[in-house]
Amino acid sequence: MSHKRVAILISGGGSNMVALLDSMVGDHPARPCLVLSNDEHAGGLKKAAERGVATAWVDHRPFKGDRAAFEAELIKPILAAEPDIVCLAGFMRVLTGDFVSQFQGRMLNIHPSLLPKYKGLNTHARALEAGDAEHGCSVHEVTAALDDGPILGQARVPVLEGDTPDTLAARVLTQEHRLYPAVLRRFAEKNSTPVHLG
C-alpha cells in the first residue's frame, strides 16, 4: 500500500507540524512529503529538516499584500511535492478562495477555538473575556471562508481560575498536539467519524 503524501504549511515554531511528523510512522497510512513556510526563519523548518523531511519557504513580504502573486509562488513547491493532503499548522497567512479551491476536500487546518466560536485571532483572550467555562481547538476542512468548513475533530479544555491568555493557550496547544494527529490519521484512512477529545 502506498502512503498518502502530506504537505504541511507553517509560519513559526511548528509544534503542531512536529506532532504530525512524529505520528506518521509505522502502520500510519500517510507520510510527510514537504514542510513549507512563509518565513525563511521559521523554527519549524529546522525541526522538519532534522527529521529528514523536505522543506521550502516562500517569503510573503516581497509581495506586499498581493495575495495572488504570493500564492503563485507558494503553490510551486506544493505541486512539486505532489501531496494528497495539505495540512495548515500554525500557518498565519490568509489564503484566497482560488488557492484553497485547488485543494478542496483535502486541505485541513487547526484553529485554537471550539469552532464555530471565535474565528480569527486572539481566541484565548476572547474566550476569557466571554467568561467561557471551557475552550479548546478544532480541526476543520479548509474552505474559502476563513476558519469555516466541516469540523473533523475538537478537543476541549477547562478554563481555570486565574487563567491568562498564555496559560489557556498552553493548555489548548497540548490538546492540539493530540487532536491534529488523530484527525489526520482518520482523514488519511477516509474515516469520517469526528474526533472528540477532552
- Rounded Cα gap, residues 100 and 80, in angstroms: 17
**Binding test (CB under 6 A) with ligand GRF, winner from 4, 8, 14, 152:** 14
User: Do 85 and 188 contact (CB within 8 A), yes or no?
Assistant: yes
By CB under 6 A, tell whether 175 contacts ligand GRF. no
By CB under 6 A, tell whether 181 contacts ligand GRF. no
- Rounded Cα gap, residues 114 and 98, in angstroms: 26
By CB under 6 A, tell whether 32 contacts ligand GRF. no
- DSSP strand pairing (134-141 vs 151-158): antiparallel
Q: Which one of the spans 5-13, 55-63, 95-103, 160-168 is the region binding ligand GRF (CB under 6 A)? A: 5-13
193 CB neighbour count, 10 Å cutoff: 9
Looking at residue 162, the DSSP 8-state letter turns out to be: T
Annotated active-site residue in 111, 124, 135, 177: 111
- Rounded Cα gap, residues 46 and 56, in angstroms: 11
By CB under 6 A, tell whether 10 contacts ligand GRF. yes
Q: Quickly list H helices, the chain.
A: 15-23, 43-50, 67-81, 97-101, 123-130, 165-188
Active-site residue, 111 included: yes
By CB under 6 A, tell whether 12 contacts ligand GRF. yes
**Binding test (CB under 6 A) with ligand GRF, winner from 35, 58, 89, 127:** 89
Contacts with ligand GRF by CB under 6 A: the residue count is 13
**Binding test (CB under 6 A) with ligand GRF, winner from 7, 8, 9, 16:** 16
In whole angstroms, the minimum distance from the beta carbon of 122 to ligand GRF comes to 10
By CB under 6 A, tell whether 163 contacts ligand GRF. no
Residues 96 to 155: which contact ligand GRF by CB under 6 A?
110, 112
- Measured from the CB atom, is 143 or 174 closer to ligand GRF? 174
Q: Is the peptide bond before 116 cis (omega within 30 degrees of 0)?
A: yes
> Computed from CA positions of residues 31, 37, 42, 46, in that sequence, does the dihedral angle turn out positive or negative?
positive
Looking at residue 143, the DSSP 8-state letter turns out to be: -
Q: What residues act catalytically?
A: 111
